[in-house]
Chains A and B, each alone.
Chain A
Amino acid sequence: MSIKGRAFLVGAFEHPARKAADKSVAQLHAEVAQGALADAGLAKSDVDGYFCAGDAPGLGPLSMVDYLGLRVRHMDSTDTGGCSYLLHVAHAAQAIAAGKCSVALVTLAGRPRSEGSSGTQPRSWGTAVPDAPFEAPYGIVTTNSYAMVAMRHMHEFGTTGEQLAWVKVAASRHAQHNPHAMLREVVSVQEVLDSPLIADPLHRLDCCVVSDGGGAVIVARPEVAKSLKRPLVRLIGAGEANKGQNGGKVDLTTSAGAWSGAAAFAEAGVKPADIKYVSIYDSFTITVIVQLEDLGFCAKGEGGRFVADGNLVSGSGKLPFNTDGGGLCNNHPGNRGGMTKVIEAVRQLRGEAHPAVQVKNCDLAVAHGTGGQLGTRHGSATLVLERA
């Protein structure tokens, strides 16, 4: 059974907060749920499916559905890190196609900025995690994990620090138009290279921000979508995949996006060349380059040259990306960037992005992300969305 055309993105909301020291995590989830329902023109009582991931406090979805006052007939708390919400949209479409729910709410929220989170500190998932004894002693953290991907990519393909920097430069050119963005200052390639080296070869400006906040989307069946007053955004393809160390056959330069992307494009029946706008998870500049290659926007190894010279800048580049400023400049709520990737793609397809970055005649978009770490193990999810 294909999900092509079986579900629509009818509501999307991004929390404006970038620091929320005075709010609880559950409260942020409730506020983004309110926002997405209001955007869709739906009521809480219309929601019969709920999706959340590890950022939601409590046992799976149970505390949150109770806190939000929901009574649902479908729940899913699959956690694949930052790409969970892309995957949730796909799972919601599957549930809708199977008749298991009609209106699915997906929420994300977190306060890592208020809680002092940093990409240079280890995160623990418990002592029973099978990889932990073989990784924790060595100090694997978010930054040096992705840095090893960048180092290998440079070694194999000649990718340069300047090319990595172009990803950040493009994001900053978009972020200057976003009043909510954490970093609104336009930066140059040289400024990225001159920023402090965090984990060779990644500089501070190669890394995404740490922010509080959140977001939510509503996925609904076609009959519901067509009864609402919002522009129609239809899901036409989705894919998910995983990749890790493969028992010691490590390959850092290709992500699971090669598989999730191929599946999503095949289901949608479109090609990368057809896509007008991409939301690409930008935890680091290297993340974007690897994923653009894996999704087929350019050949493996060509990503550095592909992103250089402003080619990701809306209005002048050949493939506008992350027109909200992305994780590199706008926000990275809960250290999980997948939700905002969906939200900006919905804005673009509706024609509701900031006028300075709105892609002309944006009728076909991809939202894609990875979660976990590209340097150890990760999930990926790809959505192909069209303006109906």
Chain B
Amino acid sequence: MSARKIPAPAVNAEVKPFFDAAGEGKLLVKRCAACAEFHHYPRTVCPHCFSGRTEWREAKGAGTIYSYSVLRRGVPAPYCIAYVTLEEGVTMLTNIVDCDLDSVRIGQKVREVFKPTDGGPPVPMFTRV
């Protein structure tokens, strides 16, 4: 578990379902019914085709590390920022947690975990499979 205090997300009405679901241990992604593309972070209007017919879908919660970096200086404890590509095809910014950060590499398989934030809803993160 990271010693970093995780800032609460500034939840607004548009993205409240995402964070409500995170509170129930579910990772949601948006899929557009018009163009069939997933996107992240979630919007009401599809950033690909600009249709308003976007729908929340529960992701499988599995992905692959696209890139990462462990920040080691100027912070109370090192932490690992990463982009993880979900099985649904979208790549999301996140943290890799609950593993030896020195062992993290691009291409590793990861699965979702949910971590409490400082006074807000939990947020999805990932750990090595």
Contact = CB atoms under 8 A, between A and B. Distances in A.
B8 A137 contact: yes
A155 to B, nearest CB: 5
Interface magnitude class on chain B = 35 or more
B67 A152 contact: yes
B75 A120 contact: yes
A96 interface: no
A137 B117 contact: yes
Interface in B103-119: 106-107, 117
A247 interface: yes
B60 interface: no
Interface stretch (A48-56, A176-184, A195-203, A267-275): A195-203
A133 B40 contact: no
A133 B74 contact: no
B112 to A, nearest CB: 14
Contacts of A140: 81, 93
Nearest to B16: A133
Contact of B67 (A128, A143, A155, A196): A155
Contact of B106 (A143, A151, A202, A376): A151
Given A128-B12, A136-B9, A247-B90, A151 B68 contact: yes
B95 A139 contact: yes
Interface magnitude class on chain A = 35 or more
Contacts of A152: 66-67, 106
A99 interface: no
B6 A120 contact: no
B91 A137 contact: no
Nearest to B75: A120
Contacts of A198: 71-74
Contact of B41 (A120, A131, A201, A204): A131
Closest 9 CB pairs of A and B: A248-B90, A120-B74, A147-B69, A247-B39, A133-B9, A127-B10, A248-B40, A134-B41, A250-B91
14 contacts: A120-B71, A127-B10, A137-B8, A137-B123, A138-B94, A141-B71, A143-B71, A152-B106, A198-B74, A199-B70, A200-B72, A202-B69, A246-B47, A250-B91
Interface of B: 4, 6-12, 14-15, 19, 29, 37-41, 43, 46-48, 66-75, 79, 81-83, 85, 89-95, 106-107, 117, 120, 123, 125
Interface of A: 118, 120-122, 127-128, 130-141, 143-145, 147-152, 155, 196-202, 204, 245-250, 252, 376
